Chains A and B, each alone.
Chain A
Amino acid sequence: MIFKTFEAKEIELKPKELLKALGQKLKETDYKAKAAAIKEKAAGAAEKLKNLDAKKLVSDFWNGKPHEERRLGDLYIPGTGLYKHREWRGVKDTLYYFNMIWLYNYAHMVTDIMKYGNLPDFIKGTLRYRWMGQTYLTVMHWFDRGMEGMRGPALRGSAWHYRGMTSETIRQFQAMFASDKKLHGGVANDLWKKHIAHNETVSGCIFYPWRDVLDDVPLEMIPYFVTCHVNNHTVLNYIDAAQSIGLPADPCPMCQAEYGIFVLDDYPDYAPIMITSNEACDGSVATSILQDWFLNRPLFAMPQPMRYDDPLVQKHCQKEIEACWKFVEEQMGIPFSWDQYVKYAESFNKLTEFEHEKWDVAANTDYYPINGVAQALYRIYYSQDGDRPIWHEVDKHVRKIMENSVEKKINSFPKTRHRVIAWSCAPLYYSNWCTWAYNCWGLNCVINMDSLMFDQMLRTDTYEHALEDLAWFNEKAPMRAMAVGGHEHIFQLWEYMERFNCDMVVMYDQLQCKGMQGIHGMFEDEFRKRNIHAIWVPHALPDKRTVSRREIRQIINDYMTTVMHEEPLDPTLVDFEDGDSW
């Protein structure tokens, strides 16, 4: 058994080692300095007591402190991202956070584990897979990071988005564990024969014709994508594993991590077939080849064109989808069902309709109750995953909160100084940068590129229309449409800036994305020409070692002070160390 200190030192929990460490600590302690510090603290507290304003104290307790007095940075234990104590948000919001977010989600994590599978499989999966054990137990801290400083409807609406993602994540990993050969003595059980594995970038909509009889589960969504957001330590093992067998280090680290999972044999074996894609780029093609090698089972590669606007490629895309359907029919022995396709496509259209309503509120009012990180992650997750009951349940709650917010004209982000649009692919290890940016600088990230993908209703009146729309839907996937899909799509930024009334751009600069690197200079020229405030945020997608979160904050700080000449709303958030945090 080992114990990790807040200074990230690991100590063996053996009596001898412990005593040694304790003795060392006692020896190293400067008691004089400690006594002086205590004295100073006591003097400070006495001074505070003298000047105590009882009325203000009661108001701060009841309503929470005003934004500028919160000093959220003081709550962190340096380096760890842990809190000395969680934020006091006033009685109402603190109790809401405790009851309806912290307790509610811990309790529902347990009930979801039972609902979507069973406890023994969950324990086996936790002990077998690094991406599972090291990541998902820390999920409430992911909530904390995303919800810092949030109050009222923004706290409630954003937390419901997180709840949806958590529940769907549990459904997916429990589905994988229940049918995983590796957890069941190498035996393919009945569930194994009823699963389809596919790349996380192959849309779940493709599999609607079998949704009632087969379960399609994306292979890397949970082991790779979601882990980066929840606990960014995990993914580094997979990136290093990919490079350890001599594969190059310069492709997209997403692709590296995806095949690194296979190099480390950390993938669950839960389905007889695999469907792969070329999103986002040639790096993904390499992933498909490596997966074909490691998985050793029937695999269908479904590449889609990068320059998809060309009308000549539409028929080709549709044929690719039909070939995929034929592959599923042949391999699984279950015929395509038009009725099932219609049922799920129409249900999914309802999610898209509500998304459009949300965009309208975000674009045209100050009453949108969803913060930047919840908006981005929820949208990309459900639109990639396809129709599932949990998304409808979440939308029902969010609709109620949003309508109430609009009706009562509640501005959830009253300290907004700039309405920001975030463009290109985000740093997965710091998706909650926008929560920090609002708390520290009043930068309100209203919308982001990934949210605007998959903007396609799916017609179900005829087979031909359905196929046409599904092809478009698949072509409008996040990285294909606006990273490698041609400059006309990437430059849609200007239209969206206007539509969402944004006055500033946070321009993600994925250092290992050749598509976006190729257009960097053109963006620089356009920003100057159009006189747009744009902050370039370099990052390496899931890999926090290339550009740390602290460095990202420093870049934004520098721009806000030297270019915008603004003062931080909360100075304690300007610079702090969180290198070892999840």
Chain B
Amino acid sequence: MKILRILGKILWPLLKITGLAYLILFLVFYFDLDGKLLYTVVEPNLARRYDKMERPDNTAMPYGKKDPVEA
């Protein structure tokens, strides 16, 4: 009985936390909160980062130049 009581004391809060996390995730899923976050915040900020990124001008490399490749 004592073991069961101790187990209960550990398992019950764990069950509550898991249940709450599951409920929160279900709400994120149902109300498409993941999509909304990606659309409103993540994608525009990443896109801005890529827009501003400095890139080498590959067209400046003369055609026909071949570096030896070590395989």
B interface, CB within 8 angstroms of A: 25-26, 29-32, 34-36, 38-50, 55-56, 58-59, 61, 63, 65-67, 69-71
Contacts and interface: CB of A to CB of B under 8 A. Distances in A.
Interface in A266-323: 266, 272-273, 293-294, 296-298
A3 B41 contact: yes
A265 B54 CA distance: 10
19 contacts: A3-B44, A4-B41, A85-B32, A126-B46, A130-B46, A133-B46, A133-B50, A138-B43, A140-B35, A245-B59, A263-B59, A264-B55, A265-B55, A294-B58, A296-B65, A296-B66, A296-B67, A297-B67, A298-B66
B32 to A, nearest CB: 4
A262 B40 contact: no
Nearest to A133: B46
Contacts of B34: 140
A86 interface: yes
A264 B46 CA distance: 16
Nearest to B55: A265
B47 to A, nearest CB: 6
Given A296-B61, A332-B71, A4 B31 contact: no
A24 interface: no
Contact of A2 (B25, B48, B50, B71): B48
B47 A82 contact: no
A10 B46 CA distance: 13
B67 A293 contact: no
**Residue of B38, B39, B40, B45 with highest tally of chain A CB at under 10 A:** B39
B67 A98 contact: no
Nearest to A139: B38
B63 A2 contact: no
A358 interface: no
Contacts of B65: 296
B36 A1 contact: no
A389 to B, nearest CB: 27
Contacts of A233: 43, 47
B43 A4 contact: yes
> Chain B's interface: helix, strand, loop or mixed, by majority?
helix
B66 A103 contact: no
A114 interface: no
Interface string A217-239: 00000000000000101000100
- The 3 tightest CB contacts between A and B, nearest first, are A130-B50, A83-B32, A4-B44
Given A82-B36, A140-B34, A140-B35, A265 B44 contact: no
A140 B34 CA distance: 9
B61 A102 contact: no
Contacts of B59: 245, 263
A134 B49 CA distance: 10
Contacts of B50: 130, 133-134, 237
A1 B43 CA distance: 11
A249 interface: no
Contact of B49 (A127, A137, A265): A127
A5 interface: yes
Contact of B29 (A80, A102, A331): A102
A98 B63 contact: no
Given A98-B29, A265-B56, A293-B61, A137 B39 contact: no
Interface in A122-151: 126-127, 130, 133-134, 137-138, 140-141, 144
A102 B35 CA distance: 12
Contacts of A134: 43, 46-47, 50
Given A85-B31, A296-B65, A333 B71 contact: yes
B71 A193 contact: yes
Contacts of B67: 296-297
Contacts of B71: 193, 272-273, 331-333
Contacts of B35: 82-83, 138, 140-141, 144
A82 B61 contact: no
Nearest to B42: A137
Given A1-B45, A4-B40, A83-B32, A262 B69 contact: no
A333 B69 CA distance: 12
Nearest to A4: B44
A547 interface: no
A368 to B, nearest CB: 28
Interface in A1-47: 1-6, 10
A374 B46 CA distance: 29
A365 to B, nearest CB: 33
Contacts of A504: none
A130 to B, nearest CB: 4
A188 interface: yes
Given A103-B25, A294-B58, A82 B39 contact: yes
Contacts of B26: 98
A231 B30 CA distance: 21
Contact of B69 (A133, A294, A298): A298
Contacts of A127: 49
